[in-house]
Structure 1
Amino acid sequence: MMKRLMLLLVIAIGFISAVNAQTDAKAKTILNEVSKKYRSYNIVKADFSLLIESKQTNSKDTQQGTLYVKANANKYKVSMTGQEMTSDGKTLWTYLKEEKEVQVTDVNTSDEALNPAKIFTIYEKGFKYLYTGDKKVGAKVYQIIDLTPTDINKSYFKIRLTIDKAAKQIASALIFEKNGNKYTYDVKSFVANAKVPESIFTFDAKKFPGVEVVDLR
């Protein structure tokens, strides 16, 4: 269960987070534009795929998911095969589908805490970033930025962002872990100002008969 939870946290940082990279003005400008546009939205919906490449087992696995984020609040919902994470900014519900269990915890609001609500702004603290150039794919131009955590104790050492230059949106992120594993996160669709109710950011156990609620607060 913990592995799956940590995986979702890795996904969160993957939306926004090089070796010996220096903070560079062009990279900062690009990231600020992405953040500014994101903050102009209310609720964002993104469908994504995640390719997990394990060096230890020499295997690959692909998962699909959907993320909802309230842009200017600490609220989010992540749905993936087997698991959902929902937060209203104060409480976090982690629903483990196979176990028919939902774990309830307080949200960690410290600067060190990583969650999907920070996906477009996490670079603002604790990272160096470097613009490495543009890449053209078909008719689209993508800007490539490498980010490195200033904390050398992190489990990952670099995240490579691919940003749609025209849309000012993150198209993909490649996460490099120190153990050799890689996570490629691709945004398949992005809906700004998605029409969903605020209640999507809370977990109503009554809608899930038979689910055990484990309060860890």
Structure 2
Amino acid sequence: MGGPSGRTGRGLVVAAGALLALAGLAAVGAHVAQQADGGWFASSTERFSTPTSVLVTDEILVEEGRPGDPPTDLGELAEVRIRATPAEPGQPVFVGIGPKADVDAYLRGTAHDRMASFDLEPFAVRFDRVPGGPAPAPAAQPFWVATASGPGTQTLLWDKTRGAWSAVVMNADGSPGVDVRADVGLRFGFLLPLGVALLAAAALVAAGPSVLRRVRSANASRRE
């Protein structure tokens, strides 16, 4: 029989295996939930409108972690989807994401609504209005890193990279009077591989003491 230190070691191994298994099951469960929601964790679809030419988000900051920084926000590891459907059928709309500095320069002198704050429950977004004139046609601008444009529902997909970004929703010709129904989704591609890896690690931790005992027994038999 093992002494107290042996029992303590076995208890730690069991606890570590259980934690790894729970984390793995949680990751796999999150993947299943994501797939059940069409492959995305998505917000509700809401209506957004403005008499100006542009609806623009606040800064979207994606930072690269440095030693001593807090853990990376999981949201920064996700692919982003923005969907926008014009309230008026057939109205071409434009959805774009670009560097914040370039978007700010593009909007200088243009009437637009800039997101100032939002609440999730109940969902509500507050915009600050900036006066100005109509916007130049957005598709002609060279700085967008992801766009979707045309009549009907437009779906923009963006795999985040480091930097400060802004997203806009506009009429495709830059004219005033934007009216859309939109939602935002996030997709975490690492969930299933992470879950499988954690479950495999849990299995290895659980099997470790048994394998070690067999190795010790085999070595003892050879010495006899």
Q: TM-score range by the shorter chain?
A: under 0.3
Q: Give the structure with higher Rg (CA).
A: 2
Higher helix share: 2
Name the TM-score, length of structure 1 as normaliser.
0.26
Higher strand share: 1
